[in-house]
Amino acid sequence: MANTIKSEVLRKSAPSGWRRPEGILKPLWYLWVWFSLSLILLYLKVFNRTRFEGLEHIPEDGPVVIVSNHISDLDPVLIPAAILIRYPTQLARSVAKTELERVPFLGAFLKSYGSIFVNRTGRDLRGMRQIIQAMKTGKVVIYPEGTRSMDGKLLPGKRTVGRLIHLARPVVIPAAVWGTILAIPPTSPWPRVGKDLGVRFGPPLDMEPLYALPPTKENSQQIIDHVMSAIGGLVEEVKTEGRVVEI
């Protein structure tokens, strides 16, 4: 599969699949972004106790990929909202499963923020080309486990994600989310209030020695192992501080 992805990506430069509105739609789009962000922050900051930590580690310029654990459907909203607070003119595009497109409000929010929807049931080469293109040009949030953890325990990372990172070669920022598994638990689509939740961003990972390696399955595995080790370290940090990651 990795060789197929490489050949498809290198054979042609595919568009990212999303463009920020221009012309008369541009001010309407900005109005929607800030209206929706205000609603999200109302829920996060007023109805819950939300903290964003380590935002200073995220570079302002250049291609950046934020890699995080995934414990709730709230995660693809939480992390881009945190980055918008740090850089009000920048959108971080989340990689999300296609099923989220059909979730009321959340689907509209994710689409308008340029989320990349990927079909997890097969080889979604179009989605993977979009991910690589987005990784090369801006900020992207990706969940290397490939799915939401139903109990919060960190799952193994997908080697394909290591391959995508290797092809795009962005700055990689690890992150750990906590509390969202209580705010929108796996057993219910309805948000809850009064929860402690947030995200901690770590410093950029040293990826240069890994980027210098040839693009093989073994090296893609090394990359994802390195990424998952950094995420796991942050998860353990927040757990030792009494923050809820697992249920």
The pair of structure tokens assigned to 151 is: 């109990």
pLDDT of residue 1: 43
CATH topology of domain 2-240: Glycerol-3-phosphate (1)-acyltransferase (3.40.1130)
β partners of residue 53: 200
CB 191 within 8 A of CB 89: no
**What are the structural domain ranges in the chain?**
2-240
> Dihedral through CA 187, CA 66, CA 220, CA 72, nearest 10?
0
Q: What is the mean pLDDT of the chain?
A: 86
Q: Contact 96/117 with Cβ under 8 angstroms? A: yes
Does residue 83 carry a pLDDT above 80?
A: yes
Strand partners, 177: 199
Say what the pLDDT of residue 69 is: 98
* pTM, full prediction: 0.86
Distance between CA atoms of 168 and 186, rounded to whole angstroms?
Answer: 32
Model confidence at 41, pLDDT cuts 50, 70, 90, reads confident
Can you tell me which residue has the tokens 């809820």?
A: 244
Q: How far apart are CA 222 and CA 216, in angstroms?
A: 10
Are the CB atoms for 30 and 109 separated by under 8 Å?
A: no
